[in-house]
Chains A and B, each alone.
Chain A
């Protein structure tokens, strides 16, 4: 899961870049950028959850 989350995050970034290229209108461009950030946030949550160590591990 931790690697899946980290792979999703660049996808969110490319959505933001796509918004710049595809949508000249400010409203739709902003909405698309927020969607990209939401995808990044989702990936970050998955990555963070995947990295939670089992308690009691001595490492």
Chain B
């Protein structure tokens, strides 16, 4: 058992953090719009309903079970002792948020942050399974993430777990830092997307026997690009609230973090715009949206820790990597990821975490970030794959062939998102 004390939060900081967290669901709305727009029109209603349902399931399961394992930074936790050090590996909170109203202000805000962050993390794999992942399976995936995987990693990073204590235990900077949720939300969600794609398989006709993979473009660029703008507000809220909660920064530090967040997204968009312009002759709208998102994800790790020039550089690198990786994953390793979540969330998040270690400047910080990255790749990815593989036995992930042919809307909901439109035969089937 371990009960560290959390710092006292001023009333002004409490109020600002609360307002920011009320704005944070806009990140979820933005990702939901992007997920829906990048899928096909005959699955749009199912995609959007899935986003809302996953939000709801993740919120309920986190309150019922997940918050217990996440624990509080000033609450009890499970420890084991190895090599003379205490390894804090799991929270020991009360079930159903019992005692929440009497917890410290810092702890209440921390739980609210995690409550919203888990919903965003659970939405990420839903976009990657678009057009073939069943609604029930999407909700089951969200439940598993909210009950087990997210709480485990969130405790390690945000609730005084062993990654957060790398600084005090091993002299590695300030321990693993993830002020905006790049690791806990985006890399975790992106790695879950990898597992979902592997378990579910690709869309029918995506990888024909001969020739290149079939292009299946998103059905609504307006949703996608408007989602990017909505997401920016939510991202600012998550990054700024995270800086106050996890880094205990003063309010005067917030404007620079906001500027860094926008700079990273802008640099990433400019880079993706340029790369796709060179690569295809014209800029690609959906890849530019993925680039913007990648910049935001990279900023989640680094915006609170670096100065503006590195923030811009980090965004530009994320914007260059993303479109190239989307293409590489599809053409070279046959990964069918309609939302590009693996590139935009997982890989950009990993880059942002490493870059935060490089540019933050503290001795040992880079190594602390690398240990966190190693935990994500070495433990979380195999864990989510195993959980989803088992879950697929109980709740089959993939819709049957007929359902995929007529579209998820008609198959699962009995009606489409655009009932006045004529649904065409899928030209891409060969």
Residues on A close to B: CB < 8 A? 2, 6-7, 9-14, 16-17, 20-21, 26, 29-30, 33-34, 36-37, 40-41, 43-44, 48-49, 51-53, 55-59
Determine the chain A residues whose CB is within 8 A of the CB of B85 once the complex forms. 21
A20 touches B170 (CB 8 A): yes
A20 touches B381 (CB 8 A): no
**Separation in Å of the A3 CB from the closest CB of chain B?**
9
Distance, CA A58 to CA B364, complexed state (A) = 50
Interface centre among A2, A10, A20, A37 (most CB of B within 10 A): A20
Distance, CA A41 to CA B83, complexed state (A) = 27
B374 touches A21 (CB 8 A): no
**Separation in Å of the B331 CB from the closest CB of chain A?**
11
Q: Is B324's beta carbon under 8 Å from chain A?
A: no
Determine the chain B residues whose CB is within 8 A of the CB of A36 once the complex forms. 374, 378
The closest CB in chain A to the CB of B198 belongs to: A51
The closest CB in chain B to the CB of A14 belongs to: B378
* Known A-B contacts A20-B170, A49-B333, A55-B208; A13 and B377 likewise in contact (beta carbons under 8 Å): yes
B370 touches A33 (CB 8 A): yes
B207 touches A55 (CB 8 A): yes
Q: Interface SS of chain A: helix, strand, loop or mixed? A: helix
Partner of B333, one of A21, A33, A41, A52: A52
**Separation in Å of the B368 CB from the closest CB of chain A?**
10
18 contacts between A and B (CB under 8 A): A2-B198, A6-B385, A9-B379, A9-B382, A13-B379, A14-B378, A16-B371, A21-B82, A33-B367, A36-B378, A40-B374, A40-B377, A41-B377, A53-B334, A55-B334, A56-B207, A56-B210, A59-B132
A10 touches B379 (CB 8 A): yes
Q: Is B375's beta carbon under 8 Å from chain A?
A: yes
A30 touches B367 (CB 8 A): yes
> In the complex, given contacts A21-B83, A51-B335, A55-B209, what are 19 additional A-B residue pairs having Cβ atoms less than 8 angstroms apart?
A7-B382, A10-B379, A10-B382, A11-B378, A12-B377, A17-B371, A20-B166, A21-B82, A29-B367, A33-B370, A34-B370, A37-B373, A37-B374, A40-B374, A48-B333, A53-B201, A56-B209, A58-B401, A59-B204
The closest CB in chain B to the CB of A34 belongs to: B370
Q: Is B70's beta carbon under 8 Å from chain A?
A: no
Q: Is B202's beta carbon under 8 Å from chain A?
A: yes
The closest CB in chain A to the CB of B162 belongs to: A17
Determine the chain B residues whose CB is within 8 A of the CB of A58 once the complex forms. 204-205, 401
Partner of A12, one of B82, B203, B374: B374
Distance, CA A35 to CA B259, complexed state (A) = 36
Task: Report the count of interface residues on B (CB-CB < 8 A).
Answer: 35
Q: Is B42's beta carbon under 8 Å from chain A?
A: no
Q: Is B345's beta carbon under 8 Å from chain A?
A: no
The closest CB in chain A to the CB of B84 belongs to: A21
A16 touches B382 (CB 8 A): no
A53 touches B207 (CB 8 A): yes
Distance, CA A41 to CA B204, complexed state (A) = 30
Determine the chain A residues whose CB is within 8 A of the CB of B386 once the complex forms. 6
B374 touches A16 (CB 8 A): yes
A9 touches B377 (CB 8 A): yes
Partner of B374, one of A2, A13, A26, A57: A13
Determine the chain A residues whose CB is within 8 A of the CB of B40 once the complex forms. none
**Separation in Å of the B353 CB from the closest CB of chain A?**
12
Determine the chain B residues whose CB is within 8 A of the CB of A13 once the complex forms. 374-375, 377-379
Chain A to chain B: the 3 pairs with minimum beta-carbon distance, closest first = A13-B378, A56-B209, A16-B374
Produce 1/0 per residue, B196-225, CB < 8 A to A. 001001111101111000000000000000
* Known A-B contacts A21-B82, A49-B333; A12 and B378 likewise in contact (beta carbons under 8 Å): yes
Partner of B334, one of A2, A11, A43, A52: A52
The closest CB in chain A to the CB of B386 belongs to: A6
Q: Is B186's beta carbon under 8 Å from chain A?
A: no
**Separation in Å of the B333 CB from the closest CB of chain A?**
5
Q: Is B155's beta carbon under 8 Å from chain A?
A: no
Determine the chain B residues whose CB is within 8 A of the CB of A51 once the complex forms. 198, 333, 335
Determine the chain B residues whose CB is within 8 A of the CB of A52 once the complex forms. 333-334
Determine the chain A residues whose CB is within 8 A of the CB of B411 once the complex forms. none
